A and B are shown apart, each in its own frame.
Chain A
Amino acid sequence: MASSEHGATVGGKYLTFGLGEEEYGVRIENVHEIMALIPVTRVPRTPDVVLGVINLRGKIVPVFDMHRKFGMPATVPTRHTCIIVVSVDKMEVGIVVDRVREVVNIKADQVEPPPSFGADVPTDHLLGIATSSGGARLLLAIEKVLATSEVVSVTSAAEASKSAA
């Protein structure tokens, strides 16, 4: 079903990673580096999805829990748990995932648009679903996953706490 204009933007190399039972992919251009889960400094009064901040070679980088982001229970760290540092709007952001898989080349014609689930399961952060060997991989539009919703929810949480005085 992938139309050509749709396909032109979704084909390419993806870093795939696991979250719970599901497999996800982010565009390799967005990936800065992969690092082991290091101690994260919690930032008080931020939403659950914000795990905190880490020191990335002298830079303070926020880290998000992808489990929480997708409404799953918080990540339980294992020895496979990783932080993938991605760049979103020229800003580096860490996302915590259960395991990192591989870099795969996904052709545009392997990508299907995400099916509709109704309002309960938002799909606008998905570029599409890649149906290569080894099951479906959900390709993330990482800038949509992290940018807008988090800025809005963090600031609105701060405002809510202000008005709840």
Chain B
Amino acid sequence: MDRKAIAAKAIERGIIRSDAAMTEDEVLNLIFEPGFSTRDTVTDISGRGVGMDVVKRGVEALKGRIETTTVLGKGTTFTIHVPLTLSITDGMLVRVGQERFILPTVAIRTSFRPTKDMLSKVAGRGEFVRVRDEFVSVFRLHHIFDIEGAEQDPTKALVVVVDYGEGRSAFLVDELLTQQQVVSKGLASSLLTVPGVAGGAILGDGRVGLILDPPGLVALAHQTNGWVNAA
């Protein structure tokens, strides 16, 4: 971004006075002003000076902040800081064996106990379930995470259908416990950066519950073949 162009435009629009002394950061922050645009023409999607204003208000609503660094002719980096301790996740607490996990409710499409005729396999291993007119792959959470004591019979467990990014998959869990809002916290440093786990939260009983990350979980399931021992 060209700071000079931004400043010139701001002066032209009357947002700042021409003799205003501004630091480079202050000039950059002008792009977040409502109605500010360096464009002279308005197209279908841009030029009204709305976009960055909306972004800033959205981030501020989350009590975060935006840092902007720019190199003229090279590009611009926006760093968005959102306080992790303030990110509240609406989650479904699920049980697998003796362990509990939180699945973000936004990702959950449906959950049900499958009957035998809804379940099929590819090559004797890849399990899938018929959900209305659709076939959805089923991954067993206890296989992916190597949890002992979980229900092995899908018709006695629950299938949770989860939307992620571009696709849809289902996870086999033992039980849905409760729906609750949790405050998501990081798992204390990179030491515990695990695919499929987005973070942790303190549950009602004071113990830590892990928040699952559906896209990561699906990626993990594809690697580990969460269904490999399904028999």
Q: Taking beta carbons and an 8 Å cutoff, which residues of A are in contact with B? A: 39, 41-46, 50, 52-55, 58-62, 91-93, 150-151, 154-155, 158, 161-162, 164-165
The reply to whether A162 and B223 contact each other, CB–CB distance below 8 Å, is: yes
Chain B residues within 8 Å of A150, by CB = 191
Which B residues from 115 to 171 make CB contacts under 8 A with A? 144-147
Task: Name the one of B147, B186, B207 contacting A44, with C-beta atoms under 8 angstroms.
Answer: B147
Q: How long is the Cα–Cα vector from A62 to B186 in the complex, in angstroms?
A: 11
Q: How long is the Cα–Cα vector from A58 to B207 in the complex, in angstroms?
A: 10
Q: How long is the Cα–Cα vector from A164 to B210 in the complex, in angstroms?
A: 24
Q: Which residue of chain B has the shortest Cβ distance to A163 in the bound complex?
A: B223
Interface of A is mostly: mixed
Which B residues from 27 to 80 make CB contacts under 8 A with A? none
Interchain nearest-CB distance for B195 vs A (Å): 6
Task: Name the one of A53, A154, A155 contacting B208, with C-beta atoms under 8 angstroms.
Answer: A53
Q: How long is the Cα–Cα vector from A44 to B193 in the complex, in angstroms?
A: 10
B196 within 8 A of A: yes
Sorting the interface of chain B by its residue count into under 10, 10 to 19, 20 to 34 or 35 or more gives 20 to 34
Chain B residues within 8 Å of A59, by CB = 185, 188
Contacts between chains A and B (CB distance < 8 A), count: 86
Chain A residues within 8 Å of B147, by CB = 44
Interchain nearest-CB distance for A140 vs B (Å): 18
Q: How long is the Cα–Cα vector from A39 to B209 in the complex, in angstroms?
A: 12
15 additional A-B residue pairs with CB within 8 Å, beyond A92-B188, A150-B191, A161-B223:
A42-B99, A45-B145, A45-B220, A50-B192, A53-B200, A60-B185, A61-B188, A91-B189, A93-B191, A154-B190, A158-B193, A161-B195, A162-B195, A164-B223, A165-B222
The reply to whether B202 and A55 contact each other, CB–CB distance below 8 Å, is: yes
The reply to whether A46 and B192 contact each other, CB–CB distance below 8 Å, is: yes
The reply to whether A161 and B192 contact each other, CB–CB distance below 8 Å, is: no
Interchain nearest-CB distance for A59 vs B (Å): 7
